[in-house]
Amino acid sequence: MSRINACFTELREKGRKALVPFITAGDPSLEQTLGIMHTLVEAGADILELGVPFSDPMADGPVIQRASERALALGVSLRDVLMLVRNFRKKDGHTPVVLMGYLNPVEVMGYEAFAAAAQEAGVDGVLTVDMPPEEAEELERILEQHGIDPVFLLAPTTTEERIDRIAQAARGFIYYVSLKGVTGSDKLDVQSVSAKLQAIRRHTTLPVGVGFGIRDAASAALVAPLSDAVIVGSALVSRVERLGAEPDKLLPEIKRFVGELRHAIDSAGV
């Protein structure tokens, strides 16, 4: 059983929902990212989503775009991100790590070389934002051969037919984008999210995580009863941006914020 499957199984047995924070690898530095990853777990994160810096992140709002720019300015590459995961695994062999990024760096490395390196580093899932399922069969196959779950996005505009196609390809969990827009938007419509999750669950038994509109403990508490996982990105990355130059303040703030999210999710009557 993969780490992702084991995580959701354990949470389900405990009647809990997953907290999945997103950070950009290499922001504010690779060394600090490693400390942030461990702090996130200490504060109650169940799965870590690690952004691979990319020059043209089409799905990301300005906060995460700036994080990618800062990491790229330091020369952070896909191989550096894999090394970061390898270093994380020296202390944590339990917490699932999902890489979220874009196809170009993977294609440059080559599917087989990337999958082998990701497996060796301890990566559990890969979400390539700009890889449509119609073109993903080769990468899916290679990832699965290396024990890595291909994770896919679904959007409010995704049709039933396409939901079914993606559900057949996905492993680990499905990431539902809760709104029309980019990360960091704040127009969360809980009724619409609930209706779409019901439609998705007609096609899959995989866990479904919700992201792109979770900004604080209150919004996390609204989504938790509907989903299997609450995914938080821009609200966390904005704190890294604000306090990246003050590491003595950054980690305590991350621990406080993620602790609030954890408490809100656990208290939401799920």
Q: Which residues are catalytic?
A: 49, 60
End-to-end alpha-carbon separation of the chain, Å?
25
Other residues' Cβ atoms within 10 Å of the Cβ of residue 75: 10
Q: Which residues have a Cβ under 8 Å from the Cβ of 94 and sit 6 or more positions away?
A: 3
The number of residues in the chain equals 270
For residue 125, the cross-strand partners are 98, 149
